[in-house]
Amino acid sequence: MKKLYLIMTAITVALMSCQPAGTKGQTDLTGNNIIPRPRSVVSTGGSFVLTGRSDIFVMPGSPEEVAVTGSFLAGKLNPSTGLGLEVITDGSKPGKGDILLAIGEAGSGLGDEGYELVITEKVLTLTAEKPAGLFRGIQTIRQLLPPGIEADTIQPGPWAIPTGTIRDWPEYGHRGEMLDVSRHFFGPEDVKRFIDHLALYKMNVLHLHLSDDQGWRIEIKSWPNLTAHGGKTEVGGGEGGYFTQEEYSDIVRYAGERYITIIPEIDMPSHTNAALSSYAELNIGGKATEPYTGTDVGFSTLDTRSETTYKFIDDVVREIAALTPGQYFHIGGDESHSTKIDDYIYFVNRVQDIVLSHGKSVTGWDEIANATLRPGAVVQYWAKAGNAVKGVNQGAKVLMSPCKYAYTDMKYDSTTVLGLSWAAYIEVDDAYNWDPATLVPEISKENIVGVQAPLWAETIETFKDAEYLIFPRLPGYAEIGWTPSDMRSWDEYRVRLAAHGKRMEMLGIGFYRSPLVEWAQPGR
């Protein structure tokens, strides 16, 4: 096998000699196009090259996860380079052209997700304090290689990386996106593809909006009609769908291998028509509603004064919490326009206690700050800054999802066919040009856990459509969450983003070619 790679390398090297040598990108590490922008980059002016002799070495004594991360890297590099990198765990020493993965101190301050990449002409050494940091560092290695690295068929090399040192760690601990699988259903394969996109840009949270008026999307064994009936609808009358518990667990596992946490959301007391149409006893008046496939909000409510409702919620939270290793359970709480405010407060207080009783912390849309927040609660700011401030005043932390900047379902401009526009048109510069720490004067950085961009799916029927709205805004949200605000500027960012056009193409993403970015011509 290895011999074949050596022959291929010889061909690659022959091809290399036909190309202009020493282009700036191959020897100047500071000329990189990494998104999110790394904290510190020092170039030493040389070049490291992957060859048919390259392998991925895991430092002896590393936790088992490191070899898994090494295999992830091999899985990324081998299809496009054809170099057949293998993961070596036998303690032998790396040689020229090898990659070394190590858990270690590497100075201080890297934290849970930081990493240090030391690239010499001989070896590329990636060190992190925690396995998650190695995984984030691997995304940097991917982005230092030419865009062809993302292809799933063999591409021409050379596979060169400029030498130098990168030290990098995130500004915020929570960087993510939300996917609404309720208005239209997206299956496990789509969700995994989304997780891969988050991983490339070093995001670490996927919030799944699992229930709404139009569909209930996760199997609950003690209330089977939720999916048997409530899972069969979606906006526009399509067939809907749902995740079995096995499928949900598989998504959680897949995300976990990428150091991404799933936050499950069951939206309540409003946005519950799918449940209300599945079980009569959850309704005020005890009569099941009709299924709903429109796009109105705020018309449904659980019966907040019935013990049956709390038995139902206890069962739902217990079953989902048991499948979810992450710390948070999202209780929704938005737009409860048909729930009286006293009933709403009573409800949110009781539901918070149910979540805590199943070992999870509470998160919810900003309206939940009108209730008495329990310790550890996180308020997701989307619409009313006043609500988020109420949360802070109760000692809660805030997750930033301001609808005018971070709503991935908003149109780019008036000509965008997909999406909505009630909050704003969000061009790629608008999506990038805001700072979570200064957006709301009363909310400072210490109160903020991070940034999350929600994708609501009223207008999105296929994952291709979803990708058109997600890209190219996602890399900008990732950078807002990772890179300190004084290192960010649109004029500099747009140049790096342009270089990602080719990378997105290689990944098969049909992204929006914003006129604000000088994309290379397709296919070049």
What binding mask, one character per residue, do residues 257-296 give for ligand TNX by CB under 6 A, x or -? ----------------------------------------
* Choice among 290, 335, 367, 518 that is catalytic: 335
SS3 397: strand
Walk across the sheet containing 115-119 and list its strands. 40-50, 159-168, 115-119, 123-128, 98-103, 56-58, 87-88
Q: Which is nearer to ligand TNX, 184 or 258 (CB)?
A: 184
Looking at the Cβ atoms of 202 and 207, the one nearer to ligand TNX is 207
Element (DSSP H or E) covering residue 174:
strand 174-180
When the beta carbons of 288 and 420 are compared against ligand TNX, the nearer one is: 420
C-alpha Rg value of the chain to the nearest Å: 24
Q: Give yes or no: 446 in active site.
A: no
Shortest distance in whole angstroms from residue 456 CB to ligand TNX? 3
Question: What string marks each residue from 413 to 432 as x (binds ligand TNX by CB under 6 A) or -?
Answer: -------x------------
DSSP 269: S
CB closer to ligand TNX, 456 vs 471? 456
Strands (E), 335-412: 361-365, 378-381, 397-400
The distance of closest approach from Cβ of residue 63 to ligand TNX in the complex, given in angstroms and rounded to an integer, is 38
Residue pointed to by tokens 């909006």: 209
Q: Which residue has the tokens 């995304």?
A: 139
Binding mask 377-416 for ligand TNX (x = CB under 6 A): -----x------------------------x-x-------
> By C-beta, is 129 or 458 nearer to ligand TNX?
458
463 binds ligand TNX (CB under 6 A): no
Minimal distance in Å, beta carbon 473 to ligand TNX?
A: 14
Q: How far is the CB of 185 from ligand TNX (least distance, A)?
A: 15
SS3 47: strand
* Neighbouring C-beta atoms of residue 3, cutoff 10 Å: 8
**x/- binding map, residues 330-349, to ligand TNX, per CB under 6 A?**
----xx--------------
Say how far apart CA 390 and CA 412 lie, in whole Å: 31
Q: State whether residue 108 is helix, strand or coil.
A: coil
Q: Which helix (H) or strand (E) holds 508?
A: none
- Cβ burial, residue 298 (10 Å; 0-12/13-18/19+): middle
**Position 342: which residue type?**
D
Q: Report in angstroms how near the CB of residue 335 gets to ligand TNX at its nearest.
A: 5
User: Which residues does the annotation mark as catalytic?
Assistant: 335
Give residues in contact with ligand TNX (CB under 6 A).
Answer: 297, 334-335, 365, 382, 407, 409, 420, 456, 458
